[in-house]
Amino acid sequence: MPVPRPEYPNPLFDRSHAWLNLNGSWDFRADPTQQHTAAAADGYDQRITVPFAWETPASGIAAHWLETAWYRRTFTVPSAWSGQRVVLHFGAVHHEATVWVNDTEVAHHEGGYTPFSADVTDALGDGEQLLVVRVHAPADKLDIVHGKQRSMPRDDYDGVCFTPSSGIWQTVWLESRPATHLATLRLRPAQDLTGIAVDATVRGPESGTARLRLRVRGEDSTVTLDIGPDGRAEAVLPVATPRLWSPEDPHLYSVDAELTSADGTDRVTSYTGLRSIAVDGEALYLNGHRLFIRGVLDQGYWPDTGITAPDDAALRRDLELAADAGYNLVRKHLKLEDPRFVHHADTLGMLLWAEPASPGRFSPESTARFAEQIQPMVERDGNSPAIIIWGLYNEEWGLDWDLPGDPAKQQAVADAYDLLKALDPTRPAVDNSGWTHVKTDLLDWHYYDESAASWAATVADLLSGRRDDFPVKLGPDFVVHKQLAVTGQPLRGLPNLNSEYGGGFTGLDRAWHLRWQTQELRRHDRLAGYVYTELYDIEHESAGLLDFHRGAKDLAGVDPGHVNAPTTLVLDLTPVAPGRDLLTATREFTVGVRVSHHGTEPVEGTLHTTWTAVYAAAPESPGSPVPGCHAEAKPYVLGEAVEVPATLPEGRTSGRLHLALVAEGGSVVARTALDVDTRTAPHIGDDPRAGRTE
């Protein structure tokens, strides 16, 4: 059988010249009564495929609510590694892992999303080596970080949680290195983006006399450094003609590090991109240019493999699907994802919002476990140019829903923010995404609403400052109003993002809300971006633009790529319902059309229209130009309304009016659509503005 996930697992700290993949078939024994010991060889009556969680079909086990189990396999150290230290790596194991090699305990780790390793050299013998791993994954996950994995007893947010993924769920591998070795290699763009700032950490008995040679691959930029008494070495590697990393040009610079000591030579490669991400007032700037985030939520689940991607291509494919839908950022939600995902974002130019998993309730233990993820997250992924936002808590998960009323919880959030910013001050951080903020660089909010009218009004009120709270529906008849921030956290002067939104239960409904709600967000120049919920369905949750297998859904002719384009059309209309955006007693009507443009230069063109049946996709041709309807917009300034007259074709009682902005030369730069119905009057109780142009 081929080895699953055969690719090198950690491209941002690459020792792939000396590694051995240990994925594949392992012996497995369930231990529901916790009776087994490491030394006992009995009970291994099944085979499991690593690195797939034992709940998943891909593992070959598919055991649910099993709390404790054991893994066993043998390995042979390559003869070429003679004289080197042998290090055993685990990408991630949920939740508590104890590791033995040849009956010697070599590692104990807690935390289901963070990597760990152990130097196993002294436990090795001749020939085959025996590796045993005991994993405990408690059913009661409330005091441990578990993100979207279901707990028993249940989380308060159980309705949006999924099948747990217990055990080894990322790659297991061996590496060889000298006793004196590189422990970390931190790369950041120099402040002026003309070079790479390097901060390396060396560990081992000969670190005091070791020398570190750094080279930017493909550049005439090399430096040799002595190691300081604290084991650190710092330098800036200049780049002669800097090529900045951006979504349009995701250029990466690889840095080769060679450490030489009396113990031998250690070689590590990493990479980064020359890019800046900055907050200036209410705007975000990437490389000095204003950035509008068009984001989508991605929770990192797959049908047969749980929180492990079935293969490396699946990680890349999800990013490509997001790009195809017009998004420039993916928010990986409540999960420290496989580092290969980050690598693919770096190479594809997809921006990332990265965040750790959450616990289920507030306690000293859960707070400490949450915080323990922050340093490994930054150390493992901090070199990535794609990550432009660090997240922390989400909607008070693990804070018992009482952040505004509890100083202890506010302190926990502030402490997490301070720790993160001390580790990495180069990126904006969000303290408690979506709900009440305590200490944050971005003022984001999660607002869901099934009414187009109240959606538009609430968004306008939040962005104008008329209100500093918003409704959150926690149950059928239970609505709370969430404050944007506690006293002391500024409500103005920071970028605003609606970092979760969406509505509807069918593909048709969700596509309708996607189109109209996103339009309302584009109406407001103060907004710094949005994140739509979500890219694909997961198990019982049918909120995706795609199904769980990443297949197409019926979106009633709506193309997300048009909705999320850098240039879009905004209609001065409050729609009524799917299939009947505009209700009119006559076939003739007029609609105001504006241009929202997030480019670097102004845009202008002529508005074109054409008709199809309701729910039909936009035809390839933009249709006919509308006489006198010339529209334009400056970057990040909503254009003035252009009144576009239209007439429903003779003999029809309904239809979809497709509108397109066509630039000189014939290129289509923006599209939208309007479903018109002459047969139905508004229902009693509908908002009086619905279906009317303004």
- pLDDT of 221 reads 87
| Beta partners for residue 582, in sequence order | 676
Residue 417 one-letter amino acid? Y
Tens of pLDDT along 107-165? 999 999 999 999 999 999 999 999 999 999 999 999 999 999 999 999 999 999 999 99
Give 94's Cβ-side CA count (13 Å radius): 30
In this model, does residue 691 exceed pLDDT 50? no
Tens of pLDDT along 409-438? 999 999 999 999 999 999 999 999 999 999
Tens of pLDDT along 483-542? 999 999 999 899 999 999 999 989 999 999 999 999 999 999 999 999 999 999 999 999
Is residue 478 very low, low, confident or very high in pLDDT (cuts 50, 70, 90)?
confident
Tokens read off for 210: 């070791």
- pLDDT of 679 reads 84
Share of the chain above pLDDT 90, in %: 95
Task: Identify whether the C-beta of residue 390 lies closer than 8 Å to the C-beta of residue 354.
Answer: yes
- The CA distance from 522 to 33, in Å, is 56
Closest CA to 190 of 264, 242, 129: 242
Closest CA to 372 of 111, 55, 572: 111
Contacts of residue 85, Cβ cutoff 8 Å, sequence gap at least 6: 119, 121, 176, 177, 178, 179, 181
Average pLDDT, the chain: 96
Task: Identify whether the C-beta of residue 458 lies closer than 8 Å to the C-beta of residue 418.
Answer: no
- The CA distance from 142 to 380, in Å, is 26
- pLDDT of 685 reads 39
Q: Could you tell me the pTM of the whole model?
A: 0.97
Q: What is the DSSP string of 120-138?
A: -GGG--SSEEEEEEEEE--
Is residue 477 very low, low, confident or very high in pLDDT (cuts 50, 70, 90)?
confident
- The CA distance from 48 to 154, in Å, is 28
Tens of pLDDT along 80-109? 999 999 999 999 999 999 999 999 999 999
Is residue 632 very low, low, confident or very high in pLDDT (cuts 50, 70, 90)?
very high
- pLDDT of 686 reads 45
- pLDDT of 215 reads 98
Tens of pLDDT along 229-283? 999 999 999 999 999 999 999 999 999 999 999 999 999 999 999 999 999 999 9
Task: Identify whether the C-beta of residue 642 lies closer than 8 Å to the C-beta of residue 659.
Answer: no
End-to-end CA distance of the chain: 64
- pLDDT of 476 reads 81
Tell me the C-alpha to C-alpha distance, in Å, between residue 171 and each of 540, 640, 661: 28, 54, 49
Task: Identify whether the C-beta of residue 279 lies closer than 8 Å to the C-beta of residue 442.
Answer: yes
Q: What are phi and psi of 416, to 5 degrees?
A: -65, -40
Q: What is the DSSP string of 251-266?
A: --EEEEEEEEETTEEE
- The CA distance from 200 to 206, in Å, is 15
In this model, does residue 687 exceed pLDDT 70? no
Contacts of residue 302, Cβ cutoff 8 Å, sequence gap at least 6: 308, 309, 310, 314
In this model, does residue 558 exceed pLDDT 90? yes
In this model, does residue 69 exceed pLDDT 80? yes
